[in-house]
Structure 1
Amino acid sequence: MRIILIGYGWRSLFFYRIIKALPHQFTLVTWVLRTQERAEEVQKLYGVQTCSNVHQALCVEHDLVILSVPSSSMKELLSVLINHDEKILCETGFTSLPLQTLNTLYAGYRASNSRIFIAEQYRRQPYYHTCHALSPLLGPLTEARCASLHDHHGISIIRYFLDEKGANCTITAVNRSSWVVKTGGRDSIDIEGVRVQSKRITAVLAFDDGKTGYFDFSDVQYHSSIRSSHFSLFGERGEISDYEVRYLNGDNEGVLQTIQRFEDGGLTNNPRSLRSLTFGDVCHFKNPYWPLGFNDDEIAIALCMEDACNGRGYGLHEALQDSYLAQCIHRSCSEGRPLETHTQIWADAFSSL
């Protein structure tokens, strides 16, 4: 699949690494940068075709445009691509855009022949994929607790497991600060023992059908060695808590089993690579890119790229719903009161699928 990549940064390099590692599946036909100087720099650094003009890039034969730019540039570039009726895999940064902008963006998309898919990779991660496959063991699902992902990412997982689609809910959220010792950042380890203020948002999403989502995230969580991440799913007949699964068998007797990760490498000379996730003697996720050394995020993003190339995946309406609910969480925090969500113009897209 011939790909145009727009944007340069930490996230866009995920796409580049995947394209380079899977040449039998993907070809980068051109990489669009913000300035000509940066385009020339990237061309020399990575040995790829680059340019600084989106319209020029779209003249090159291609199958998919990947848009990986900051939120401040997203609306303008996405509008250009929509007007060209492009098939697009777009990054997830809609939460920082005003709700009116989200509605305007969707209205333009709905009137076009464009196809937009969003690189919301967590549903495609091996762990969440396995949890979803095991969820029938729990009976009808009633609650999901996501204490592992921020903003729209966490909301996406809650909605996915509770099957809420575009449903409305009442959101009650608080934002509290506390001290914690800094242990690192995205690309660093910190052993200075410096105390920093950490903000934790907790929210209850009470959906109209009686199901409940619990959102819990600290702003140091992704890069801290002393703040862990957790996921729980609750049903009438059982629960998943991280890697433990408790459920009732056919005789209504309690059973406890664990999800197992099998990785090659690490303690051997083989490249480190996830092979599979199993439950009992059943494999629920087999890494299609094994034995490449992809981490779980890279596996999930590669799957999103494959999905988009094949005309399927997490749609724009889903991303906008997740971003809208995340905005409501922040509003509930700042206003100090519960908020009732309201149906948006993209809600019809859920019922049309």
Structure 2
Amino acid sequence: MSGFAIVGTGWRAEFFWRLAAELDDLDCVGVVSRSKKDLPVPVFGSLDECLARRPDFVVTATPWAVTPSLVTELAERGVPVLAETPPAPDLAGLRALWAAVGATGKVQVAEQYTRMPAHAARVALVRKGVLGEPTRVDVSSTHQYHAVSLIRTLLGVGRGRADVRAVRTIARLTDPLTRDGWADPAEVKDAATVIATVEFDGGGLGLYDFTDNQWHNQLLMRRILVRGTLGELRDNDVVRLAAPKTIVRTEIVRRQTGYDLDLDGFDTDHITFGDEVLYRNPYQGKRWNDEEIAIATLLRDMGKWVRGEGPEPYPLADGIQDHRIALAIEEAANSGLTVRVDDEPWH
């Protein structure tokens, strides 16, 4: 069993203590908060008071501007850290954070997207070589560093150099849903779309496409494409050259219980490709959504790492590189110029 603490009490922080309560190998020992809170876990008024409980690691679910100094303090005190994304707000902050703690090996980043069931299944399919060597990934679903993480993971590219080009356009769009729920009435308003290409040195092209509030606006389709030397994946549909003169089309199928007369309850069971299981839900029976499954998996992977039982969940260098490219996308969209992501210390 691993015990962890959280600094922060916001929307993201709640995921961590709520999910940990359902896991038998993780325990949230408490939360650090400047103000008094009525929470289902102990609340500490200071970091020192919290660390006296000797947590195995600390989750920093804090504002962007606060995170770098907090991560630095914890790493310098020898405490493993799981830092919410991004680990620093700007390029100067990323470089300063790496200079301060990069060599400690104490910091991981809470990048959960590749652990979401559908994405985890796609990653497994690509790594099996079904599409041959991946050459292009298009992501239109989430923003900035999350999208870059998906692109880099599916392409299998490292933290090297890249050229980024981008354009931003504005168009009218109905916005019926936000994190707070349904808009009443739904408004038609301006929404910005950023489309970017990320051309990685050594091969591999990423296409980034994000529209304001695309996470919550159900009028916008989510799209993902992975092209390889032997075929292409589009969302859940795969076409490939399976043998000479033999083009095969196969669907990635998610088995979801609880529909119609299935009385087992609403839950994700597994995801298959033909007769091969790409992903199996490790939390069957908990009725968690994909975000909850991904965060619980990340927490458990962090616990295994600090116990010496598993690999690094998501190294700081990867989280920094994701946001470095995301910043380049914004810069290219603002300037209309190609932005070069050059060699950095974390490469």
Pair in the same fold by TM > 0.5: yes
Structure-2 residue corresponding to 1:85: 78
Answer yes or no: is the 8 Å Cα contact 1:231–1:242 preserved in 2.
Answer: yes
SS at match of 2:286: coil
Structure-2 residue corresponding to 1:315: 315
SS at match of 1:105: helix
Are 1:171 and 2:164 matched, yes or no?
A: yes
- Distance in 2 (CA, whole Å) between partners of 1:258 and 1:275 is 17
- Distance in 1 (CA, whole Å) between partners of 2:169 and 2:6 is 39
Answer yes or no: is the 8 Å Cα contact 1:172–1:329 preserved in 2.
Answer: yes
Letter in 2 for 1:91: E
Number of aligned positions between the proteins: 337
Structure-2 residue corresponding to 1:133: 124
Letter in 2 for 1:299: I
Answer yes or no: is the 8 Å Cα contact 2:225–2:234 preserved in 1.
Answer: yes
Are 1:110 and 2:102 matched, yes or no?
A: yes
Structure 1 gaps of 5+ residues are 348-353
> Deviation per CA, 1:61-94, whole angstroms, max 9, x where unpaired?
2212111111121112111111111111110124
Are 1:290 and 2:288 matched, yes or no?
A: no
- Distance in 2 (CA, whole Å) between partners of 1:150 and 1:76 is 25
1:142 CA displacement? 1.0
- Distance in 2 (CA, whole Å) between partners of 1:173 and 1:82 is 36
- Distance in 2 (CA, whole Å) between partners of 1:87 and 1:193 is 44
Aligned-residue Cα RMSD (Å) equals: 1.4
> Deviation per CA, 1:306-337, whole angstroms, max 9, x where unpaired?
11112121110000000000000101111111
- Which residue of 100, 104, 111 maps to 1:120? 111
Answer yes or no: is the 8 Å Cα contact 2:301–2:313 preserved in 1.
Answer: yes
Answer yes or no: is the 8 Å Cα contact 2:102–2:316 preserved in 1.
Answer: no
Structure-1 residue corresponding to 2:326: 326
Answer yes or no: is the 8 Å Cα contact 1:144–1:161 preserved in 2.
Answer: yes
SS at match of 1:138: coil
Are 1:276 and 2:270 matched, yes or no?
A: yes
- Which residue of 220, 235, 240 maps to 1:242? 235
Identity of aligned residues (%): 27
- Distance in 2 (CA, whole Å) between partners of 1:332 and 1:201 is 10
1:109 CA displacement? 0.8
Structure-2 residue corresponding to 1:147: 140
Answer yes or no: is the 8 Å Cα contact 2:134–2:227 preserved in 1.
Answer: yes
- Distance in 2 (CA, whole Å) between partners of 1:154 and 1:225 is 18
- Which residue of 76, 92, 99 maps to 2:91? 99
1:266 CA displacement? 4.5
1:251 CA displacement? 2.3
TM-score (norm 1): 0.92
Answer yes or no: is the 8 Å Cα contact 1:199–1:219 preserved in 2.
Answer: yes
Structure-1 residue corresponding to 2:308: none
Structure-2 residue corresponding to 1:350: none
- Distance in 2 (CA, whole Å) between partners of 1:201 and 1:167 is 23
Are 1:180 and 2:167 matched, yes or no?
A: no
Structure 2 gaps of 5+ residues are 306-311
1:98 CA displacement? 2.3
- Which residue of 38, 42, 46 maps to 1:42? 38
1:269 CA displacement? 4.8
Structure-2 residue corresponding to 1:345: 345
- Distance in 1 (CA, whole Å) between partners of 2:68 and 2:315 is 16
1:125 CA displacement? 1.2
Structure-2 residue corresponding to 1:19: 20
Superposed structure 1 runs of 4+ greater than 4 Å apart: none
Answer yes or no: is the 8 Å Cα contact 1:88–1:308 preserved in 2.
Answer: no
Answer yes or no: is the 8 Å Cα contact 1:263–1:272 preserved in 2.
Answer: yes
